[in-house]
Structure 1
């Protein structure tokens, strides 16, 4: 007859050991679709501002980008099924990011080409969300800028607009006449989005509101934008002090072009940015420094695209900076 043993409660974990028992964890229920929907909501203020300034032209670029991106995503899912489903809203958010960086007068074939490189080459071929090494929308813009630089000219796209401000990209004028370009613009105009830029990547105030929303709902971590701000302002200040006739002030760089768009919506992408706190801050600093170096010492007008791609490449290396494991027995 089998001897019955009295139940013995588990012994408490000894000091210095790591308890790996399953706990009563709380599930938040946040999925990819909800996360991307929040990103779309965050981009909505800048989109509305673009519609206010540019009218139907901006709506055409955004509408075509979303339609082409979703259609290509559905086609890729049909031909090569994967876990990266169209229903996760990733293609919608990527289409918005792409449209924001395109000129207002971008032809339909340029938008379609950009969506192809973004969805098929930049996202699907690498396995979808969570797998691509470089931001798909930024990669697509880089291809378009190298292939059709004339079609990607924001100054030419907005030359017929009647705005009470200098109708040339601030950073382009900076390249031409040096730091004297700064006196041609009012900081209030740059801050409110009254500047020559892409469809919506120059709406600084409205992008800040969207970025603040993402931080509050914890869709992005504050360490990345904070590091970016520190790296950009510090490098811009040092360059300006070294040669004030050539390099503009840090505030001018912060408010011009796609700076705010890059710091809040491009380098904060979950797939291409680090996952640990310290690497996030270092990643932001690196992106800000790279942006200023490209603007200051290259022929590129803005430099956002190439700064983001270079920072993406360094993300896995930065993530090797890991926190020390607490607990365990010292051997």
Structure 2
């Protein structure tokens, strides 16, 4: 019999849920900081509103269920869900958008299924899809980066706009989300989807205004920030490499196949990797231990399925960034994936 020689330590302390969630929240900071640098600090306002709403919602439902409030709130899962929702929506969205999202995520997606460890869907992504379908205008009103803003807005103006819809000078959200030249400040994925539906081809789209401005580089740097945070999670062994690596390799492969088949109609793999919420989803959403697959082989299938759905929906679907839809569809498949990917018990007949 062969023996495996491993260096110490041979036993490791089991991390508590609250510690794991703290590390995940800390590793979100680089991406959130870059997002704030390029697009303003209104996302921090959204995070504060989301956190307060999530904690109050969870406390209320725990009180109704006669569960220990303080102990459960300290696990930081509600706080993490709130932050993920807040940074996924446009920074100047009305305050009630993030409130509705957090209440839905905590009360309906998490607690009504039984609480932590019982929900079958990722709460943050379920809330995002609800908001996108119910409030498409508010969920697509993205703020231009600083150097493209035709109207200078202060932090107080951003605060006022979130709660009233107007700045102190009377500018509306629609005016703030437009460039002085009339350039719509949709995300690169939004612009690409709209242009393709209008009959343009990818080489023409990549020469358009939004890709000439540094807003495209800003989106890329935000993804790099979340990539850095994800690498820290891997280094600290908060998450396993199986899902992120499988997802990224799958995304590269499927997008390359689509691009090779029709380069005029499909973006390149690099475009997919650094657009939208790719890196945020890869390290902070797909790796949710509750809604993801629990077996080693199942995690690979789960991640590859999401990668395939992301490429399909981005290329031929109706919504530009498909990550939330892909995650929810894969969450539905997790019981089936786990059933057929269970490792064989030693001594069991094949």
TM-score > 0.5, shorter chain as reference: yes
CA apart distance, 1:26 = 4.6
1:88-237 to 2 correspondences below 5 Å: 88-153=75-140, 156-159=141-144, 161-163=146-148, 167-175=185-193, 176=195, 177-180=200-203, 181-184=205-208, 185=211, 190=216, 194-195=218-219, 203-237=222-256
Q: Which runs of 5+ in 1 are unaligned?
A: 1-14, 16-24, 197-201
CA apart distance, 1:325 = 2.0
Give the structure-1-normalised TM-score.
0.83
Q: Which runs of 5+ in 2 are unaligned?
A: 2-9, 150-178
**Kept in 2: contact 1:182–1:248 (CA 8 A):** no
1:73 aligns with 2:96: no
Partner of 2:346: 326
> Residue 178 and residue 125 in structure 1: after superposition, are their counterparts in 2 closer, same or farther (change >3 A)?
farther
Secondary structure of residue in 2 paired with 1:229 = helix
Secondary structure of residue in 2 paired with 1:326 = coil
* 1:79-114 CA-partner distances (Å, limit 9, x unpaired): 213478111110110011111111111111111111
> Residue 210 and residue 76 in structure 1: after superposition, are their counterparts in 2 closer, same or farther (change >3 A)?
same
**Kept in 2: contact 1:133–1:313 (CA 8 A):** yes
> Residue 233 and residue 78 in structure 1: after superposition, are their counterparts in 2 closer, same or farther (change >3 A)?
same
Partner of 1:20: none
Partner of 2:41: 56
> Residue 286 and residue 169 in structure 1: after superposition, are their counterparts in 2 closer, same or farther (change >3 A)?
same
1:40 aligns with 2:25: yes
Partner of 1:262: 281
* 1:191-250 CA-partner distances (Å, limit 9, x unpaired): x6x139xxxxx7111101111111112221111011111221111111111111110111
**Kept in 2: contact 1:182–1:252 (CA 8 A):** no
CA distance in structure 2 between the partners assigned to 1:138 and 1:242 by the alignment? 31
Secondary structure of residue in 1 paired with 2:219 = coil
**Kept in 2: contact 1:91–1:119 (CA 8 A):** yes
Secondary structure of residue in 1 paired with 2:74 = helix
CA apart distance, 1:123 = 0.7
Give the structure-2-normalised TM-score.
0.79
CA distance in structure 2 between the partners assigned to 1:230 and 1:162 by the alignment? 35
CA distance in structure 1 between the partners assigned to 2:343 and 2:212 by the alignment? 45
Structure (1 or 2) with the larger CA radius of gyration: 1
Candidates 288, 305, 308, aligned match of 1:286 = 305
CA distance in structure 2 between the partners assigned to 1:314 and 1:218 by the alignment? 26
Partner of 1:301: 320
Secondary structure of residue in 1 paired with 2:139 = coil
